[in-house]
Amino acid sequence: MPRTLHLALSAYGVGGPGQHGLWKDQRVPKNASVDIDYYIRQAQTAEAALFDAYFIVDSQFINASYPAHYLNRLEPLTLLSAVATHTRSIGLVGTASSTYNSPFNLARRFASLDHISHGRAGWNVVTSFDTGTSRNYGLDEHLDYPTRYGRAEEAVDVVRGLWDSYEDDAFPADVDRGVFLDPSKLHALDHAGEHFRVAGPLNLARSPQGQPVIFQAGVSEEGRTLAARVAEGIYAPGGTLAESQAYYRDIKDRAAALGRDPDHVVILVGAGPVVASTDKAAHRLSRDIFEADNDFDRKLGFLGRSFGSHDFTPYDLDAPFPDVAHLAERSGRTRGLEIVRQARDENLTLRQVVETVSEYTPSPFTGAPDTVADALEHWFAAGAADGYNLRFRTHEDLERFAADVVPLLQKRGVFRTEYAGDTLRANLGLPVPANRHTLARESAAR
């Protein structure tokens, strides 16, 4: 079977990173981040364009420097449960932290979304980026990287074990025999590990897709290892074509080395297409979008996020970049240490660091519809992506992409003209995982 390009949509309401001023746009409702009708409309537009998934990001710590969308937004699974009742085919992927949630609650909430949506749920596993989150959960400090990723790996194992509590034929519901449950098909987990002790079983059966799809966004060494081991969908960081190709090969190779089928790890590169009637108009629009958010004080404030929400405003802007590497260790370590390294190697001041990390870089997917389609197809064919996790500033931008770019991709034979099935797994080309207890039973009977 030929490869099929996959598309997901990320929703940012009134503006996430790089979109701090989006709330000022007259086309964007000022309450978009808490307006369920806004989300439903977006999801329905993406579904009409045959997108694979609708993706909701999340975090649980803020300060006043954070983007408008972060300051006032809905909890992902509550949001997606509402969207599920107004859509039929698009996947529904929510972010939830393995650091600040118990596996049993995670398993139950995502399994519930999977049933509500008839098999369209996905869990984006994060370990929590913001160090301040710890103080919202009664902890003095954020867990270190090894602990957070060790906990994440074990949490996924526990959640998957709980999702297998019932075998698929556990409920005969035989009125004549008076048998609702076959107790031999119900299994406690009895997990006792380094981070969790969970007895089980889960009080919810498997869904039409067996288990929700596991997503991850690994960038650090620990993140890539986790992604290669557990992820079925990966939100890749993007960057240049060469960087994306290198990331793609690395994750696929790691998965293969672990005995997994690399084709069952779907890598979606983050992208923000800018589409206009001509290439020139699109690049002019792209620059206008950048300038709308080109506020130095805002960028200085947000720089602190990679360093545990550190406040850089008291520092001399024209002095050498301060030694804050230690603040990145429990926060955005990969990004933070890269900023520190670049500042040291190039002898940058704090002002220069802010300007460098936020300099104008147009999306490689900027141009007239055929130019954007060319670029999306080229990256896909060149082994940089299995698809894209797309961000649009406004609903009108999403509609333009759906109307002008998607048909070109379909005409070229790289994107579907109808959904492959009714579940997220079916549309991503992923197998339904067999129940582990059924497998063991069948193996023992041979």
Residues 6 or more apart from 37 whose CB is under 8 A from it? none
Cα–Cα nearest to 298, from 12, 14, 19: 19
Secondary-structure breakdown of the chain: helix, strand, coil percentages, each rounded to the nearest 5:
45, 15, 40
In sequence order, which residues have a C-beta less than 8 Å from that of residue 115 and are 6 or more positions away? 204, 207
Q: How far apart are CA 241 and CA 104, in angstroms?
A: 40
- Residue 115's identity, in one-letter code, is H
Question: Angle between the 36-48 and 395-404 helix axes, to the nearest 10 degrees?
Answer: 10
Q: Dump strand ranges (E) for 211-263.
A: 213-216, 233-236
Q: Is 240 exposed, middle or buried (0-12, 13-18, 19+ CB in 10 A)?
A: exposed
Q: Is 95 annotated as a binding residue?
A: yes
CA angle at residue 407 from 404 to 410, to 5 degrees? 150
Q: Does the annotation flag 443 for ligand binding?
A: no
Check whether 149 is labelled as a binding-site residue: yes
d(CA 127, CA 334): 14
Query: What is the β-pairing status of strands 274-275 and 213-216?
Result: unpaired
- Phi and psi for 214 in degrees, rounded to 5? -90, 125
Question: Do 332 and 306 contact (CB within 8 A), yes or no?
Answer: yes
Separation between Cα atoms, residue 38 and residue 28, nearest integer Å: 9
| Backbone φ and ψ of 39, nearest 5° | -65, -45
147 marked ligand binding residue = no
Q: Which residues are known binding-site members?
A: 58, 95, 149, 220
Q: Which residues are known binding-site members for FMN?
A: 58, 95, 149, 220
